[in-house]
Amino acid sequence: MSFDDRRRNVRSLLFFLVALLGTVVLSFAGSFAGAADRDVALGPRYSPTAQDQALPPNPEARPGPRVALTFDDGPSPQLTPYILDVLAAKRVRATFFLQGDNTEARPELVERIHREGHVVANHAWDHAWFPDLTAAEAEEEITRTNEVLQDITGVRPTLFRYPFGQPSPDGDAVLARLGMSNGVHWKWTSNKPGDFQCPGADALVDYVVTEATDQAMILLHDAGDTIGCPPAQLDYLPRAIDELRARGFVFGVVAPSPVPSPLNGGSRAAVVP
DSSP assigned state of 160 = B
Residue 228 beta carbon to Zn ion: minimum distance, rounded to whole angstroms: 15
Which residue among the candidates 72, 73, 170, 222 is catalytic per the annotation? Answer: 72
Residue 165 beta carbon to Zn ion: minimum distance, rounded to whole angstroms: 8
Give the residue with the Cβ less far from Zn ion, 72 or 195. Answer: 72
Q: Provide the β-strand partners of residue 256.
A: 269
72 binds Zn ion (CB under 5 A): yes
Q: Tell whether omega for the bond before 77 is within 30 degrees of 0, i.e. cis.
A: no
Q: Which residues contact 67 (CB under 8 A, 6 or more apart)?
A: 212, 213, 214, 215, 216, 217, 218, 244, 249, 250, 251, 252, 271
Site string for Zn ion, 150-179 (x = CB under 5 A): -------------x----------------
The secondary element (H helix, E strand) that includes residue 204 is helix 201-211
Give the residue with the Cβ less far from Zn ion, 89 or 168. Answer: 168
Which residue among the candidates 118, 123, 127, 221 is catalytic per the annotation? Answer: 221
Of residues 193 through 252, those in contact with Zn ion by CB under 5 A are none
Do residues 158 and 253 lie in contact, with contact meaning Cβ atoms separated by under 8 Å?
no
The secondary element (H helix, E strand) that includes residue 195 is none
Give the residue with the Cβ less far from Zn ion, 163 or 171. Answer: 163
Give catalytic status of residue 127 as yes or no. Answer: no
Q: How many residues bind Zn ion (CB under 5 A)?
A: 3
The secondary element (H helix, E strand) that includes residue 105 is helix 100-105
- Comparing every residue's Cβ against Zn ion, the nearest one is 72
Phi, psi at 194, each rounded to 5°:
-90, 175
Reported as half-sphere exposure (CB side, CA atoms, 13 A), residue 156 has a value of 9
Residue 97 beta carbon to Zn ion: minimum distance, rounded to whole angstroms: 7
Chain centroid offset of residue 19 CA: 42
Give the residue with the Cβ less far from Zn ion, 130 or 236. Answer: 130
Give catalytic status of residue 221 as yes or no. Answer: yes
Give the residue with the Cβ less far from Zn ion, 72 or 211. Answer: 72
The torsion angle over the Cα atoms of residues 7, 11, 12 and 18, rounded to 10 degrees, is 160
Site string for Zn ion, 88-127 (x = CB under 5 A): ----------------------------------------
Which stretch in 26-34, 69-77, 140-148, 182-190 sits in contact with Zn ion by CB under 5 A? Answer: 69-77
Tell me the catalytic residues. 72, 221
- Note the residues at the interface with Zn ion (CB under 5 A): 72-73, 163
